[in-house]
Structure 1
Amino acid sequence: MSIRSVYTGAAPLGAETHEAVERAFPGWRVGQGYGMTETATVVTSTGENDVLVGSSGSLVPMTRAKIVARRDDDDRVVDGEAEVEITALETPGELLVQSPSVALGYLHNERATADAFVWDEDGRWIRTGDVAVVRKSPKGHLHFAIVDRIKELIKVKVRVKKSLVSFPLRFSSFSCTVWHANKFNLI
């Protein structure tokens, strides 16, 4: 077989799925990456010899990141001003990214640009809206793991039944919401 590695993105890949792919295809290396439209490319990626299951990998060259947080009364990370930079491992906060590839803003939308792009003493950053933690791999490298979203238009916390995705020949599955009977329903 000529496939040696596969990469995932768009959402964190669970350890169970990662291990299932490795069991089904023992010669494959499973990696993850993280990026967004506004960054024009990936921000983090799994290194060839430094996979940390559950992470999106380490920063790619010429990219900087920091994690900041403002918390509500229930200690949840929330959107807002009075932010504190987080330097401790495994402490969640919003991921901010800086790179030459980051967009300059949103065309004809000054409000969205002002909300998403912030300046500080280190320059201009994009607020990703993703809650992340930093973890150290067994090889000592820093990896970023996306653990939540601060705000979304639709956010449904459910688990897809294992039986729906455990069939050995199933390579993909998806779920989505549809508006029916005055509410969103997961299908």
Structure 2
Amino acid sequence: MAILKFRIYLDEDDAVYRDIVIRHTQNFQDLHFAILKSYEFDSKHKATFFRSNDHWQRGREISFEKYDKPYVVEPLLMHEVTIGSEIRDTNQKFVYEYDFEKHWVFLVELINVSKEESSKTTYPSVSRTEGIGPQQYGTKSLLGDKFADIEEKYDLAEAADGFGTEGEDGDADTDDGAAETHSEEDF
């Protein structure tokens, strides 16, 4: 059984990509869900693949379902079409569009064909992740949601104006009212 490895680039930035391995007998719906999962997107929106050439021109459409829009040719349906049946050459390309309102566009390129199936892998599977993917709704910081937890835990907002001086604890006065000073030898 052939195992196909696709590289899925974010259209806007080819430094951000995911490699997905999938059996040639699996369908485009399996690839659709694998792409969404690899970029941490939900599956609430419309999606379609287009067969493509080396110039990323859109050809025959392979859609999640038949949508209420004009078609030049009726689309194929993802759950009915196996990936292997649409491979025309060794570097086959597809354009994948998700969420027709936001127009997330991904470039899908076949980068490897192998006859070696791993018994430890559940197909489809992400074999490589490169770059920080976009956040589906809004912007994503480098630290993501974890930064808010760090900020709350260490109360980083309190020190926003700058750094305090060493030993400053808000009540640095001694009993006689004078500030306590230290020389380097004290430390």
Alignment TM class, shorter chain as reference? under 0.3
Does 1 or 2 have the higher relative contact order (CA < 8 Å, sep 6+)?
A: 2
Give the TM-score taking structure 2 as reference length: 0.24
Q: Which has the higher helix share?
A: 2
Structure holding more strand per residue = 1
Give the TM-score of the pair, scaled to structure 1. Answer: 0.24
- Who wins on radius of gyration, i.e. which is larger? 2
